[in-house]
Amino acid sequence: MREILKKLYETNNLDLNELTFLIENVDEATITDIKEKAKELNQKIYGNKIYIRALLEFSNYCRKNCMYCGLRKDNENVDRFRLDKNQIVDSIGKAYDFGYRSFVMQSGEDEYYTKDILSDIIFTLKEKFEGIAITLSIGERKFEEYEAFKKAGADRFLLRHETANEKQYEKLHPGMSFEERVRCLHDLKSLGYQVGAGFLVGLPKTSSQIMVENLRFLKELQPHMVGIGPLIIHNDTPLKNFSNGSVEDTFFYLAITRLLLPKAMLPVTTAVNTLDKNGLERGIHSGGNVLMLNLSPQEVKQKYELYKNRETKSVYDLDKVAERLENLGYEAYIGRGDHIDWSI
Ligand code: SAM
Ligand code: SF4
C-alpha cells in the first residue's frame, strides 16, 4: 500500500491493478491521508479560492428515463415547467448585477430548446452580459447542435458519464448507450468546450471494479471538470427500494480524483450537501474547489426534483457561504473561474 500511495502522490497516476488494490484495501488512516494530500494539491494549484457557479435550472421536461432521476419522462407526478428567453435573461441578469460571472444552465433533455432557440438565448446572454462564462448541462445532442451552441458562445459543458461500466450504464439508462455518451463527450472536447464528466456513487450493483473503471475512464478522458455525487433515492423512480449512496465514499472518490486529475475543477455537489450538512467543509477537505448556488426563480426551484429535499442554497445567500469558507481559510470567488490551463 505504501508504494502505491507514493506513486499516486508523486505521479498522479495508478494502473488498473494498483487502483483496485487501493480501493479494496484502504483503511481509515489511509483515507485521511489521501484526503489531506488532495486538499494540499488543490491549494497548490488553485490557492484558497472556491469557485462559485450560479446554477439556473431552466426546464424539467425530459425525454429520457434514467432509472434514478425524479425528472424521468415516465414520472407523471412531476409538475413540468420551462423558462422562456426573457425569464432566462432576467434571472441571469439579476445575478450578473450581483457580481456573478459563471453560469450553469441545466435542464432535462428538452427538445423544445432546438438548436436555433438555444443558440439565440446563449448569443443574447453573451452579448448582454460581458465577461460571463456559460456552462451547459442539457444532456445528449448531435454534433451540429453542440457546434452551434459553442459558436453562439457557450464555454463549458457538463455531461456526467454516470458509470463507465457499459452493462451497468445501459441497465440504468433504458434506450441509451454508453457508446453514444462517450461520443458526446469526445465531440464536446473536440469542439473546444471545457468539459465535465463524472459519476454517481452508490448505484445498484456497483463493485470496486466498476469504481476503478470510473477512475480510469476519467484519467483517459482528461475532463476539465468532474462531478461526483451520491445517488439519492427518489420514491417515484424504479430505484425506490434501493439505498442512498454513501457520503463517506463520495469524499474518498473526490480525493482520489483530485490526485489523479490535479487540475480538474471539482464541485462539492448539491447531492453531497443534501446528505451532509457539513458537506461543503468536508468536500473542500477532500480536494473540492467548486460550489454551485441556485438562481432558479423560487416558483420553479421545487419542481426541479431529481430527488427529495434537495439542498438549494441561493446565489443571494452568498454571505453565509462566504463566511463558512472564510472559517476554513478560503475565499468565495464569483468570477469566471476557468480551468487553470484556460486562464493563461
Ligand atoms: N439532463 C442532463 C443530464 O442528465 O446530463 C442534466 C440534468 S441531470 C438532472 C444532472 C445530473 O443529476 C445527472 O448527471 C445525474 O448524475 C444527477 N442525478 C439525477 N438523479 C439523481 C439522483 N436521484 N441522485 C443523485 N444525482 C442524480
Ligand atoms: Fe433526464 Fe438528466 Fe434526469 Fe436522465 S438525469 S432523466 S437525462 S434530467
Q: How far apart are CA 91 and CA 121, in angstroms?
A: 13
Ligand nearest to the CA of 308: 1
**What number is the average pLDDT over the span 150-168?**
98
- C-alpha 17 – ligand 2 centre gap (Å): 33
Q: Helix 143-152 to helix 178-190 angle, to the nearest 10 degrees?
A: 30
Ligand nearest to the CA of 227: 1
Q: How far apart are CA 249 and CA 230, in angstroms?
A: 8
pLDDT above 70 (res 344): no
Report residue 165 CA to chain centroid gap. 19
**What cell was used for 126?**
453573451
199: enclosing H helix or E strand: strand 194-201
Ligand nearest to the CA of 245: 1
Mean of all residue pLDDT scores within the chain: 97
109 ligand 2 Cβ < 6 A: yes
DSSP secondary structure code for residue 162 in this structure:
B
pLDDT above 70 (res 285): yes
Give the pLDDT confidence score for residue 343 in this predicted structure: 64
User: Do you know the residue count of the chain?
Assistant: 344
- C-alpha 168 – ligand 1 centre gap (Å): 16
Give the pLDDT confidence score for residue 202 in this predicted structure: 98
Question: What is the fold, at CATH topology level, of the domain defined by 2-333?
Answer: TIM Barrel (3.20.20)
- C-alpha 306 – ligand 1 centre gap (Å): 7
Q: Which of 58, 60, 72 to mutate to test the pocket of ligand 2 (most atoms within 8 A of CB)?
A: 72
- In this structure, which residue's CA is closest to atom 13 in ligand 1? 160
160 ligand 2 Cβ < 6 A: no
DSSP secondary structure code for residue 296 in this structure:
S
108 ligand 2 Cβ < 6 A: yes
Q: What are the residues facing 59 on neighbouring strands? A: 82, 107
User: pLDDT-based confidence at 310, cuts 50/70/90?
Assistant: confident
Give the pLDDT confidence score for residue 311 in this predicted structure: 80
| Domain coordinates in residue numbering, the chain | 2-333
Contact indicator for 248, 290 with CB cutoff of 8 Å: no
DSSP secondary structure code for residue 245 in this structure:
P
